[in-house]
Amino acid sequence: MTLRQLELFVAVAETGSFSRGAEKVLLTQSTVSQHVAALESEFGTPLLDRTTKGIYPTAAGQLFLQHARRILNERDVLNQAMESLHGLDRATLNMGASNIPANYLLPCFLPVLRRRYPGITLNVTIGDSREVLDTLSAGQVEVAIAGGHVDPELFNAKPLLKDHLVMIVGPDHPLAAAGTVSLADLKKQVFIVREDGSGTYQALQKAFLKADIEPDSFQVAARLGSNEAVRRAVAAGLGCAFVSDLSIQSNLHRGELVKVDVAGLTIERQLWLVSLRERTPSPAAVAVSELLLQNGELDASLRQCRTF
């Protein structure tokens, strides 16, 4: 087994095709097939199911893929560590971020990163909090920003930022002029919510249960996979929603949304900077993490973004 064979296997498994995998690694299809067959022979088990609809990892292949990704990422860490002897003038960091930090925190942070470490390039994978932690666990990214529950046995998690959730309605909604509503008023409304895996939805459920409100007692018109989709649905008049305060500043300024206070209900969630416990961080990961955790820098960049 060689690192090159691991690269070829990962390329085929991720593309679902020998031909596309071969294109990705700039080899012929027959060469890639031979290397994958050699791996299967070495381990004495099929790693890929070859079907008319595509190539799929077997159970053994899924396990192999998980460890292959980690090994290849550790190789990248080693390369970056050696490059760091000459400074961080050429480094790439694979990073994961859930929707809110990806769309409203990282864009504000990038100018700070560029000024401090102009040689670091971020490759950011975006998903809900659960998906982002899955990519981190699989070794596809080295560090992540996510909300929701973080398994302390698997991950190192450092508090990064408190994110407040607020209730919004469209400008023509009956509650738009109310200013403040009661908890009892909420049960009369139609809501748009995020999907179950999002940190926003997890924080909302936790806050409702703490206030002795059954989350399933609300009428839900839609479950949408992005904060942008939720905001657009509310602005169009579909109903109410709880969203990150970070995400709505420009919408409030333009009059597209109205923020409504809920008496007796405060919802906040912790955004975490997360890394895998068993993984040694690269110099780029260390530099970016330390810069993110300097709250003065992060707060200043967020304040500047809120002015737009």
- Those residues whose C-beta lies under 8 Å from the C-beta of residue 202, and which sit 6 or more positions away, are 129, 147, 148, 149, 269
Q: Which of 28-37, 147-156, 299-308 has the lowest mean pLDDT?
A: 299-308
pLDDT at residue 308, rounded to an integer: 44
Average pLDDT, integer, range 206-228: 84
Confidence label for 87 from pLDDT (cuts 50, 70 and 90):
low
pLDDT at residue 170, rounded to an integer: 94
Average pLDDT, integer, range 218-243: 90
pLDDT at residue 213, rounded to an integer: 78
Secondary structure of the chain as H, E, C letters? CCHHHHHHHHHHHHHCCHHHHHHHHCCCHHHHHHHHHHHHHHHCCCCEEEECCEEEECHHHHHHHHHHHHHHHHHHHHHHHHHHHHCCCCEEEEEEEEHHHHHHHHHHHHHHHHHHCCCEEEEEEEECHHHHHHHHHCCCCCEEEECCCCCCCCEEEEEEEEEEEEEEECCCCCCCCCCEECHHHHCCCEEEEECCCCHHHHHHHHHHHHCCCCHHHCEEEEEECCHHHHHHHHHCCCCEEEEEHHHCHHHHHCCCCEEEEECCCCEEEEEEEEEECCCCCCHHHHHHHHHHCCHHHHHHHHHHHHCC
Q: Which of 71-85, 131-145, 146-160 has the lowest mean pLDDT?
A: 71-85
Q: Is the pLDDT of residue 122 over 90?
A: yes
What percent of the chain is modeled with pLDDT above 70?
93
Q: Is the pLDDT of residue 299 over 80?
A: no
- Those residues whose C-beta lies under 8 Å from the C-beta of residue 300, and which sit 6 or more positions away, are 112
- Those residues whose C-beta lies under 8 Å from the C-beta of residue 29, and which sit 6 or more positions away, are 18, 19, 22
The predicted-structure confidence for 44-61, as pLDDT tens digits, reads as follows: 999 999 988 889 999 999
- Those residues whose C-beta lies under 8 Å from the C-beta of residue 141, and which sit 6 or more positions away, are 94, 95, 96, 125, 132, 135
Separation CA 111–CA 115 (nearest Å): 6
Average pLDDT, integer, range 27-45: 90
Give which of 43, 18, 42, 12 is closest to 30, Cα–Cα.
Answer: 18
pTM: 0.64
Round the average pLDDT of the chain to a whole number and report it.
86
For residues 189 and 219, the answer to whether their CB atoms sit within 8 Å is yes
User: Which domains are delineated in the chain?
Assistant: 3-79 (1.10.10.10), 87-161+270-306 (3.40.190.10), 164-269 (3.40.190.10)
How many other β-carbons are positioned within 10 Å of the β-carbon of residue 62? 12
Average pLDDT, integer, range 7-13: 91
Confidence label for 104 from pLDDT (cuts 50, 70 and 90):
confident
pLDDT at residue 85, rounded to an integer: 53
Average pLDDT, integer, range 220-229: 88
pLDDT at residue 300, rounded to an integer: 56
HSE (CB half, 13 Å, CA atoms) of 206?
A: 15
Q: Is the pLDDT of residue 123 over 90?
A: yes
Please, what is the Cα angle at 17 between 96 and 37, to 5 degrees? Answer: 105
Average pLDDT, integer, range 201-227: 84
The predicted-structure confidence for 254-279, as pLDDT tens digits, reads as follows: 999 999 998 888 888 889 999 998 88
Q: Is the pLDDT of residue 307 over 50?
A: no
Of 195 and 288, the structure prediction assigns the larger pLDDT to: 288
Residue 212, sorted as left (phi over 0), alpha (psi -120 to 50) or beta, turns out to be left
HSE (CB half, 13 Å, CA atoms) of 228?
A: 6
pLDDT at residue 306, rounded to an integer: 52
